Amino acid sequence: MADLRLAGIGMTSARTRDRLVQRLREQGIQSLEVLERIRNVPRHIFVDEALASRAYEDTALPIGFGQTISQPYIVARMTATLLESGPLHNVLEIGTGCGYQSAVLAPLVGKLYSMERIEPLLRRAKAHLRELGIRNVRFRHGDGSRGWKTHAPYDGILVAAAPLTVPDALLEQLKVGGRLLVPVGPEGRQELMRYTRRELRVERESLGPVAFVPLLSGVG
């Protein structure tokens, strides 16, 4: 029964996932390993049953608590961009949400540390990844804007919510050569930014407009 749930039927079937992967190819996602993760991760288990038939649409969907599961294109693009610099051994994810981005990214890196400020979402994400047999993720309920200093420095940091300005703590927790991917700005005027830490400076590059929920401080 569990295998059938993960495999999906009808609008959650392998054929539907293949169509999503083809759309992502047409939008410029070239990384074969990322496309395979999008194909193989059962996105429908990360959303409410009532929305399962829409799980493989290329759109964000509500997951409760004012949060969304990110659009597959954005998940694929951020994952591929983070991996461009080569193998990543130690990665921090801010904004676990329902765990979909974690499930796509985790098998492609050595160790993933994931933070979420909303505890019920974190519990749900843990259950999803446990069901998928993904075991290289450590979770923490906490304020993502402060990062997770215990395991720093990181090869890469991926932020799935938008601060108005980049938290200094995240830049400080990057190792030299490490990359931070983060949407920055107010609603309606957000840009996906890539920061690369060098010995004496931090390089900054805009990757274009995006739309994310805001990065909030504190915990819930």
How buried is residue 140: exposed, middle or buried, by Cβ count under 10 Å (0-12/13-18/19+)?
Answer: middle
What are the tens digits of pLDDT across the range 187-210?
999 999 999 999 999 999 999 999
Q: How far apart are the first and last CA of the chain?
A: 34
List residues bridging with 25 in a β-sheet. none
The vertex-210 CA angle with 96 and 40, nearest 5°, equals: 50
In angstroms, the CA 57 to CA 24 distance is 11
**Which residues have CB under 8 Å from 189's CB, separation 6+?**
none
- Residue 51, pLDDT > 90, answer yes
Q: The pTM is what?
A: 0.93
Q: Does residue 102 carry a catalytic annotation? A: no
- Residue 68, pLDDT > 70, answer yes
- Residue 77, pLDDT > 90, answer yes
Active-site annotation holder among 31, 70, 114, 145: 70
Instruction: Return the closest-CA partner of residue 154 out of 75, 70, 82.
Output: 82
What are the tens digits of pLDDT across the range 130-175?
999 999 999 999 999 999 999 999 999 999 999 999 999 999 999 9
C-alpha dihedral over 110, 113, 51, 183, to 10 degrees?
-100
Is the domain spanning 60-210 CATH 3.40.50.150? The answer is yes
Mean pLDDT of the chain: 93
Q: What is the mean pLDDT of residues 85-105?
A: 96
- Residue 3, pLDDT > 70, answer no
In angstroms, the CA 93 to CA 115 distance is 6
The number of beta carbons lying within 10 Å of the beta carbon of residue 21 is 20
DSSP of 36-68? HHHHHS-GGGGS-GGGGGGTTSSS-EEEETTEE
- Residue 12, pLDDT > 70, answer no
